[in-house]
Each structure stands twice: as structure tokens, then as C-alpha cells.
Amino acid sequence: MMNVTVIGAGTMGNGIAHVFAQAGHDVVMMDRSSDALDRALATIGKNMDRMVSKEKMSAADKESALGRLTTTTDLSAAVAQASLVVEAATENVDLKLKIFSDLDSKAPANCILATNTSSISITRIAAATQRPKKVIGMHFMNPVPVMKL
């Protein structure tokens, strides 16, 4: 089991948090907006309800997955125990570079930093850190919970 932090609670972020929690990992979803986090949790719950109604997930598995998912607006708290951070913020290069610079100073040294970017160079993002060998691309397709990895 990993401790996974997902940065960004939008469409991609909540889908990524959903699949990691469903796979049995502890997940912290972080966003600057508590309203976005509330919407993300509601979306994840609705998506899991749909999976239960289609018999793709049991109600007990849904409750277990939701129990592994927490939220915060505090980046330091979000990454304190992370073994993997997946960034799923807006496709804005300056924003992503700032996030990765912040992650570099706050996440544990052994933590892998991943970006869900579809258009920005991973090398460019990695250069914003002191650990470029621990920065990877991990691009998910939407809708994340139904796409095969």
C-alpha cells in the first residue's frame, strides 16, 4: 500500500484519487479550495454509487475506499507522509512549475513526484526540483475511473 497525494480536486484529480483509493491506497486529495474538495468528494461518491448499482463494486468496498480518502487545503500536511504525489492541476506551465518547486521542498526525499500533464515537458517540470530523477509523467485519460490503465 502507498500513501498517495493528489494535487488538484478537479475532474482529473478526483478521478485519480478515486482509482487510487479503490485500489487500496491511502489518498490525500489537496486543493486550495475547500469547495472544490467538497465537490470532488461528492463526485467520487456518486461515481462509486454508480459502480455499486452496476455491480462493479460492492457497497462495502465503496465504504472502504471512501474511508481511505481524506482532503486538505494544506500542502505541507498533504504530502507529509506521501510516497507518491500526483499533480493534476490546470495545464498552466507557471502553475505546475510553482507546484513542483513547492513539492520539492515539502515532500519526503524518497517521494516520487508525478504530473498528469498532457502537453508540458516532464523534463521542464522536473527541472523545477532538486530531484529530477524522481519526477515522472503519469497521464490518465478521462473519465479516469472507467479507463483501463
Cell numbers describing residue 45: 461518491
Place of cell 462493479: 56
Q: Which of 38-47, 66-75, 90-99, 133-142 has the lowest mean pLDDT?
A: 133-142
Residue 87 CB partners (closer than 8 Å, separation 6+): 7, 8, 96, 99, 100, 103, 113, 114, 115, 116, 117
The CATH classification number of 3-146 equals 3.40.50.720
Ramachandran assignment for 55, one of left (phi > 0), alpha (psi -120 to 50 degrees), beta (any other): left
Report pLDDT digits (tens) over 33-82: 999 999 999 999 999 999 999 999 999 999 999 999 999 999 999 999 99
pLDDT at 141 over 90: no
pTM of the model: 0.94
What's residue 147's pLDDT? Answer: 56
Question: Taking residues 99-126, what's their average pLDDT?
Answer: 97
